[in-house]
Amino acid sequence: MSSTSNAPTGNNRVRIVVATSVMLTFISYWRAAAVILNDLGSSAFYAGGIAEQAIGKSAPWFVLGVMLFAFAVRAVYVESCSMFVRGGVYRVVKEALGGTLAKLSVSALMFDYILTGPVSGVSAGQYIAGLINDTIAIADAHGWVPAAIHRIFHGTPQVGENATAVVFAVAVTLYFWWQNIKGIEESSEKALWVMQITTVMVVMLLGWSFFTLLKVGGHLPPFPTLANIHYTDESLGFWKHSKLPHMFGILGLIIGFGHSVLAMSGEESLAQVYRELAHPKLKNLKRTAIVIGVYSFVFTGLVSLLAVMLIPDNVRMKVYSDNLIAGLAMNMVGPQVLRLAFRAFVVVVGFLILSGAVNTAIVGSNGVLNRVSEDGVLADWFRRPHKRYGTTYRIINLIVGLQLFTIIVSWGNIYTLGEAYAFGVVWSFVFKTISMLVLRYRYKGVRNWKVPPNLHLFGVEIPIGLASVGMVLLSTAIVNLFTKSVATVSGLIFSIVFFAIFTFSEKVNRRKHAHSLAQMKEQFQLQQAESVERETVGIRAGNVLIPVRDYNTLNHLKWVLDRTNPREQDVVVMSARISQYGTAAYGLSTEQVFSEYEQTLFTRAVSVAESFGKKISLLVVPARDPWSAIAQTAHNLESSAVVAGVSSKMTTAEQAFNLGSAWEAIPEPKRQFLLQIVAPNGNVDTFRIGPHTPTMKNEDVVLLHRLWLKITREPGLENVHHHDILTEALTRFEKDYGAHEREGICEELRLRADADPMPIRRIADQIQTVQPGPNRPDRDDGYRSDGPPTPDGDSSE
Amino acid sequence: MSLSVLLVKILEFMFVAGWAGSVIVLLLTGYEDVGTLLDRKDENSH
């Protein structure tokens, strides 16, 4: 055993390597753009309607202005990411303005994140309710609704749009609450799929709208002058009795801009996906920014403009204010049935993207609260993992509780929700941009890109571009404080309550942490490492990696320790600390990664190892996805086997498939290894991860041998080997599969699979199942032979 | 001039000046963006 293993050091402390870099699988800029657009693009479904309700028919110009200005805000995010890999609001504000303002900015960001859920859920519900009502109305116009139903409903049956929206939003929120409690994994694949379908809808919508404009003509909305901006009492808030909004033209523009600013919510996601972008990171970030900028400008901006041009004034705000795209679909030229079908498609797309935004809201809020709680500003009580699923269920419960409260209090009023939403959006941008301005003078580290233009006067840099963006945001945010009374009151109450919770928790935690840190330092010696390497952990190749999560289920560790000889093989116990989107966007310190929970977990693991009298190495790895973390760690540590416990959520075959998929994502060159999954009753399922010699059936071996016998009788082929025949057969198979015989081959394989069913398609092939045997040594050296493979051989074969 | 009018004047100045500067940001970054989009040699579209 290497001297740097886990063994208690000279002062009896156990060494633990804590990796501080989150293990991520990198994604292309298209996927990154899809992830962001799932949030940013969803606002197209409601932003235009909310803006027009507030300021009248000239609203689309403001929405277009906001989408144009969003390009400049994006430049601020690109600069922050060029300085910090995790360049989110919290990190940047903390760096520039200190912990207090960072807590305040996170409170505003939380308001934004938490409201994303209700706004999106209610909006999707409004689209569904609108479709139901219009379909019934059309059916009634054709005389398809029986008179008896008419009598019951005293006319055409209609569902209450707000009540339906509330029921739908509550149902979707509860669905994603349960998914998050179970710990569903975020997938850029799913986001890309949703955006592909959305793009089909956007292309059809724009094409059909322009065709309609050519056929029936249309007028541009009135330009945003003081005379054309029509305020309501609600849109002036605290200024409803003031003369100021009617005196100044430019103030009218700021008010209109402030009522449209929610169209660019979701920009923060740019900082959060940056960590996961593939090389070259900065260039790909710029590409992502361009894609999302152009897409949201075309989608949100043009849809708002076309809605005013095509939907008649008498129905636009009266019928379609909460489902503007549906109104657009119903006012195209063409047969009614086709328009209704397209509207149904709009509703399906709206359901997909808006439901996705509900999930993003929960995941994002959970990520941000996890991050701040790791920083000690939220009580540890919130972070206690779920007994079965290991998720931070108390934080998820808190977020979802607040979201359900918001949905019910608003009673499906999308306008109120949208107005409040803008508070969080604009103030988190303000904090971010002001912090970036401060960092222009305070930050001395690497900065690969700056928002242009920058003037140099007497050796002092004047960041004109950054200051300009900041001035627009700050003036809008201040005016919003006066004109959006609901947002100001609810946003301030929310932010102050969260700020108070953060500040109080921080004080309590500081005392508590000082005590537990002292205790931890007595027991463990933390060694920080940027990445996981075999040399850092101090182990030999061919080791066994044991992922652990729950300190109550360490049977697989006992199973390994019962079967390994520490002189031959090192045992590494690893805990993957799961960081979600929000968390991955921020820097992690050793204390954040190695929390009280990991301390308890490793204390148990060490005591199990001590009961066997064997040494183990300990490792904590932050990760977005546990499978990627295990696969990458096994690869980096050159492990010969990974031994895991049985999951409560999936079968062993599914566990193997997930690990196999994660292994596939690792760049070449990579090593294969065995996965052994130990059940509580001692049953062990063994899988090979990565390409390997398949298990051959006896009849296939016989067939191969028979062919070999025949072929070696051919002149000039006497020296052919069995493997030559296999190579020739596979080469021909590949050619046939790639050509015209693909369907036939697939059909035959399906028949074969039906005749010999396997649990799932797998990248990892199951090779054998080890049954629990008598608990006695069966090797000469006293170690059982049914354990993990040793560095020199494979005991499971 | 009352305090509220002064505040409005300041806010209006910030908004107009900010927009003027932001338009320059948009033009400069837009020019750079065209270059970024045309440079596809290290593009990875997986």
Structure ipTM: 0.92
Q: Whole-angstrom Cα distance, residue A573 to residue A591?
A: 19
pLDDT the model gives residue A790? 64
pLDDT of residue A221: 93
Q: Dig out the tokens for A231 from the structure.
A: 């305020």
Q: Which residues contact residue A762 at a Cβ distance below 8 angstroms, ignoring those fewer than 6 apart?
A: A653, A656, A657, A660, A687
Q: What is the pLDDT of residue A791?
A: 60
Q: How many CA atoms lie within 13 A of A206 on its CB side?
A: 15
Rounded distance between C-alpha atoms, residue A635 and residue A240, angstroms: 65
- What is the pLDDT confidence band of residue A352, given thresholds at 50, 70 and 90? very high
Whether A314 shows a pLDDT value over 70: the answer reads yes
Asked if the Cβ–Cβ distance from A472 to B15 is below 8 Å, we say yes
Least confident interval from A77-81, A191-195, A623-627: A623-627
Mean pLDDT within A249-256: 90
Task: Write the DSSP assignment of A304-328 as a string of letters.
Answer: HHHHHHHS-HHHHHHHSTT-HHHHH
- The Cα–Cα gap between A364 and A649 comes to 23
Tokens representing residue A35 in the block? 């992830």
Helical axes A414-442 vs A59-83, angle rounded to 10°: 40
pLDDT number for residue A356: 86
Q: Report whether the peptide linkage leading into residue A626 is cis, meaning its omega lies within 30 degrees of zero.
A: no
**CB–CB contact A475 B18 (8 Å):** yes
Chain A residues closer than 8 Å to B8 by CB: 244, 248, 251
pLDDT digit string, tens, across residues A531-579: 788 888 888 888 999 998 887 788 899 888 888 887 788 889 988 876 6
Phi, psi (5° rounding) for residue A539?
A: -130, 165
Give pLDDT, residue A383: 75
Interchain CB contact of B3 with A (< 8 Å): no
Judge whether A248 is closer than 8 Å to chain B, CB to CB: yes
Partner A contacted by B4 (CB < 8 A): yes
- Mutation site, B11, B23, B28, interface A, largest A CB count within 10 A: B11
The answer on pLDDT for A6 being more than 70 is no
Output the pLDDT for position A772: 40
Convert A729-749 to b/e letters by CB count within 10 Å (16 or more is b).
eeeeeeeeeeeeeeeeeeeee
Q: How confident is the model at residue A4 (pLDDT cuts 50, 70, 90)?
A: very low
Peptide bond into A669 cis (omega under 30): yes
> Which range, of A313-322, A604-613, A697-706, B16-25, averages the lowest pLDDT?
A604-613
Tell me how many residue pairs between chain A and chain B have CB atoms under 8 A apart: 104
- The span from the CA of A25 to the CA of A643, in Å, is 22
Q: What pLDDT is stored for residue A763 in this prediction? A: 40
**A651–chain B nearest CA distance, Å:** 29
What is the pLDDT confidence band of residue A593, given thresholds at 50, 70 and 90? low
Is the pLDDT at A605 greater than 70? The verdict is: yes
Residue of A446, A445, A476, A450 whose CA lies nearest to A463: A450
Residue that the structure tokens 């001039």 belong to: B1
- B-interface mutation test, from A475, A478, A666, most B Cβ less than 10 A away: A475
Whether residues A475 and B39 touch (CB distance < 8 A) is answered with: no
Q: Does B2 touch chain A (CB under 8 A)?
A: no
Interface test with A, best of B9, B14, B28 (most A CBs within 10 A): B14
Strand partners, A23: A623
Bond from prior residue into A622 cis (ω within 30 degrees of 0): no
Nearest to A255 by CA among A272, A230, A218, A279: A230
- Convert the pLDDT of each residue in A35-63 to its tens digit: 888 888 888 999 999 999 989 899 999 99
Q: Give the sign of the dihedral formed by CA A502, CA A508, CA A514, CA A515.
A: negative
- Residue whose C-alpha is closest to residue A360's, from A52, A114, A609: A114
pLDDT exceeds 80 at position A400? yes
Q: Do B24 and A465 touch (CB under 8 A)?
A: yes
- CB-based contact (8 Å) between B33 and chain A? yes
pLDDT (tens digit per residue) in A711-739: 998 888 888 888 889 999 998 988 888 87
Could you give the maximum distance between any two Cα atoms of chain B, in Å?
61
User: Which is it for the CA torsion B33, B39, B44, B46, positive or negative?
Assistant: positive
CB contact under 8 A, B25 and A278: no
Residue A587's pLDDT band (cuts 50, 70, 90): very low
Q: How far apart are CA A491 and CA A539, in angstroms?
A: 53
What tokens does A695 get? Answer: 């298990």
- For an interface test with B, the pick among A188, A251, A281, A472 (most B C-beta atoms closer than 10 Å) comes out as A472
CA distance to partner chain A, nearest, from residue B38 (Å) = 10
**pTM for the structure as a whole:** 0.69
- List C-alpha distances in Å: A504 to A106, A487, A701: 15, 25, 71
Q: Cβ of B14 and A248 within 8 Å?
A: no
pLDDT at position A776, please? Answer: 38
pLDDT value for A62: 95
The residue that leads in pLDDT, A782 or A288, is A288
Residue A98 Ramachandran class (φ > 0 left, ψ -120 to 50 alpha, else beta) = left
Closest partner CB to A453 (pick from B5, B24, B30): B24
Summarize pLDDT for A188-240 with one digit per residue, the tens. 788 889 999 999 999 999 999 999 999 998 889 998 888 888 888 888 989 88
Contact call for residues A205 and A346 (beta carbons, < 8 A): yes
Report the pLDDT value the prediction gives residue B13, as an integer from 0 to 100.
Answer: 95
Q: Is A479 exposed, middle or buried (0-12, 13-18, 19+ CB in 10 A)?
A: buried
The chain A residue lying nearest B15, using CA atoms, is A472
- Greater confidence, A756 or A164? A164
CATH architecture of the domain with residue range A14-19+532-689: 3-Layer(aba) Sandwich (3.40)
Q: Where are the alpha helices (DSSP H) in A228-276?
A: 233-236, 244-247, 249-260, 268-274
pLDDT score, position A335: 93
pLDDT for position A186: 63
Which chain B residues have a beta carbon less than 8 Å from that of A465? Answer: 21-22, 24-25, 28
> For chain B, what is the mean pLDDT?
85
Which range of A13-22, A286-295, A375-384 scores highest in mean pLDDT? It is: A286-295
pLDDT band at A588 (very low <50, low <70, confident <90, very high): very low
**What percent of chain A is predicted at pLDDT more than 90?**
28
Query: Using 50, 70 and 90 to split pLDDT, how confident is the model at A14?
Result: low
Q: DSSP secondary structure string, A681-712?
A: TS-EEEEEESS-PPPPPHHHHHHHHHHHHHHT
Rounded distance between C-alpha atoms, residue A698 and residue A705, angstroms: 11
Name which of A318, A309, A305, A414 is nearest A59 in CA terms. A305
pLDDT at A784: 55
Give the CB-side neighbour count of residue A69, counting CA atoms within 13 A. 30
Alpha-carbon dihedral sign for residues A777, A780, A781, A785: negative
Residues with Cβ within 8 Å of residue A266, at least 6 apart in sequence: A36, A37, A39, A40, A41, A42, A43, A116
Q: Which residues of B touch A279 (CB under 8 A)?
A: 42, 44
Q: Which helix (H) or strand (E) holds A199?
A: helix A188-216
Contact status, residue A93 vs residue A589, Cβ threshold 8 Å: no
Instruction: Summarize the confidence of residues A303-309 as an average pLDDT.
Output: 93
What is the location of CATH 1.20.1740.10 in chain A? 29-502
Q: Is B25 on the interface with A (CB under 8 A)?
A: yes
Q: How confident is the model at residue A522 (pLDDT cuts 50, 70, 90)?
A: low
**CA A512: distance to chain centroid?**
32
**Of the given ranges (A102-116, A494-508, A581-595), which has the lowest mean pLDDT?**
A581-595
C-alpha distances (whole Å) from A41 to each of A37, A67, A292, A295 are 5, 11, 8, 8
- Give the mean model confidence (pLDDT) for residues A307-317: 92
Residue A428 φ then ψ, to 5°: -70, -35
Tell me, what's the pLDDT at A762? Answer: 40
Residue spans in chain A of domains classed CATH 3.40.50.620: 14-19+532-689
A29-502 has CATH 1.20.1740.10 classification:
yes
For chain A, give the mean pLDDT.
82
